[in-house]
């Protein structure tokens, strides 16, 4: 039986997704701006959001980003080897995240990313993290840079199968301090 991991930051709570979060997820994820920047379609219904929680978000190392009142406003997680679109090696993971548009510009994503980075290195004993962002997603690039990630390489014409679009993405890495 796996242990439920709950992480806290100064302003937010990171906890596993629950099926009961479907309405809150839909509230944020039906925004076409969010999905477009993440490579997935906007959610079309609460039922679809519930299915995404059950199939995609309820996995190890996937967290709902919640306000202190426990309302989800975004998601952050780690994709280990075999779960990522990037060539993630053993003892490595790709970090992925999104945040509801109403909560942008408050430093929340940097705050939760630093928390997940610490969790990845200290609790999971990973040695390297990867991240990828659309070339035009300057805000997400800034989050990665604030968290210590360094530009690694560019992937042009990268296919995002959930939306059937190709984008240029920037790949970043962060190595565990020895």
Whether the predicted pLDDT of 163 surpasses 70:
no
CATH superfamily membership of 7-175: Gcn5-related N-acetyltransferase (GNAT) (3.40.630.30)
Looking at residue 178, its pLDDT comes to 62
User: What is the per-residue pLDDT across 138-159, written as a single tens digit (0 to 9) for each?
Assistant: 888 999 999 999 999 887 766 6
The domain locations on the chain are 7-175
Poorest-confidence range of 19-28, 94-103, 160-169?
Answer: 160-169
Alpha carbon distance 6, 99 (integer Å) = 18
Question: What is the rounded average pLDDT for all residues in the chain?
Answer: 86
Alpha carbon distance 66, 13 (integer Å) = 5
Whether the predicted pLDDT of 1 surpasses 50:
no
* Residue in the block written with tokens 């426990």: 70
What letter does residue 145 receive in the DSSP assignment? Answer: H
Taking residues 32-48, report their average pLDDT. Answer: 73
Looking at residue 160, its pLDDT comes to 57
Nearest to 53 by CA among 44, 38, 64: 64
Nearest to 31 by CA among 73, 79, 91, 85: 73
Whether the predicted pLDDT of 70 surpasses 90:
yes
Alpha carbon distance 99, 109 (integer Å) = 7
User: What is the per-residue pLDDT across 133-143, written as a single tens digit (0 to 9) for each?
Assistant: 888 888 889 99
Whether the predicted pLDDT of 44 surpasses 60:
yes
């Amino acid at each position: 039986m796996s242990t439920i991991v709950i992480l806290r930051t100064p302003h937010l709570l990171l906890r596993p997704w629950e099926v009961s979060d479907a309405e809150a997820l839909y509230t944020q994820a039906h925004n076409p701006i969010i999905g477009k920047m993440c490579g997935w379609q906007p959610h079309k219904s609460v039922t679809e959001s519930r299915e995404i929680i059950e199939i995609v978000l309820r996995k190890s190392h996937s967290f709902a980003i919640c306000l202190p009142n426990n309302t989800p406003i975004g998601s952050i997680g780690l994709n280990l080897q075999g779960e990522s679109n990037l060539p993630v090696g053993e003892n490595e993971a790709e970090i992925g995240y999104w945040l509801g548009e109403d909560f942008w510009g408050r430093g929340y994503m940097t705050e939760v990313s630093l928390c997940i980075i610490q969790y990845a290195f200290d609790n999971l004993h990973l040695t390297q993290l990867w991240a990828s962002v659309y070339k035009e997603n300057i805000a997400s690039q800034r989050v990665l840079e604030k968290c210590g990630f360094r530009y690694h390489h560019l992937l042009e014409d990268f296919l995002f199968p959930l939306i059937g679009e190709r984008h240029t993405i920037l790949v970043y890495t962060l190595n565990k301090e020895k």
